[in-house]
Amino acid sequence: MQNKVIIITGSTTGIGKAIALRCVAEGARVVIHGLEEGWGKAVVDEIGKDNARLHIEDISNEGAPGRLVNLAIQSFGKLDAVVNNAAMVSSSNIHTTDRAFIQRILNVNTIAPFELIKAALPYLTQQHGCVLNIGSVNAWSGEPNLFAYSVSKGALMTMTRNLGDTLHRENGVRINQINPGWVLTETEMQRKKEHGLAENWYEDIPSVYAPAGRILRPSEIAAAAVYWLADESGPISGQVVDLEQHPFIGRNPPKDTSTIKASK
């Protein structure tokens, strides 16, 4: 990772922030991006201003991907990798999802990553660089109350496999994806409290969701992300890896589902 330049969207908090911290610890320089300017400045201060630049903007704004790429090139002279992490996580089902809502989710979670890849491609081609898309295990089917979000992550996964093949062949640019499971981010902590759970809800997770007795930490996702961004992953491209503490396919269902209802 030494001297690599990486754009990480949605990196003012959560998984994106953890990836940024880990990348800089491994010798990279990063462009921090998000919506929260105060949080973003705090991340840059923690990382060091020589190693980071900050861009505050909705990634789905017209021209935003190009502005991120320009900032990386103007600041550091090159671009080695892009991490598409920014996403909207909003509850919805078929009854509460209308055209405008699902379009908004797709714009942020699927179309903006595509546009950033396209804007970055000439520079990634020069460096034989890579893209890491941050998906979700919900891409495989999703929760009933995460309909639009799950659809957007399923589309992102298909895009990863498609471009991971074509761009690797044509441009020498690798594209892979990790699908995190349930992660204890700042926003997830707040989201669950808004759903009526206790302040310390994450200290007592039913074993059906967390065989380890806890859910994943952002730093653990970041540790996995570094492999795909570094040269050690070699020529691997077009791959999607689930990062969860239990299998989603072929898993034995719990005998007692009462804890599931209580935890939702």
Please tell me the distance from the alpha carbon of residue 72 to that of residue 172, in angstroms, as a whole number: 20
**Cβ contact 110:86 at 8 Å:** no
Q: Per residue of the chain (264 residues), what is the pLDDT tens digit?
A: 999 999 999 999 999 999 999 999 999 999 999 999 999 999 999 999 999 999 999 999 999 999 999 999 999 999 999 999 999 999 999 999 999 999 999 999 999 999 999 999 999 999 999 999 999 999 998 888 999 999 999 999 999 999 999 999 999 999 999 999 988 888 787 777 777 777 788 888 888 888 888 989 999 999 999 999 999 999 999 999 999 988 877 666 556 544 443 333
SS3 165: helix
Domains with residue ranges and CATH for the chain: 5-183+218-246 (3.40.50.720)
Q: Where are the beta strands (DSSP E) in the chain?
A: 5-8, 29-34, 52-56, 81-84, 130-134, 174-180, 240-243
Q: What is the pLDDT of residues 7-33, one digit of tens each?
A: 999 999 999 999 999 999 999 999 999
- Specify the pLDDT at position 260: 40
pTM above 0.85, yes or no: yes
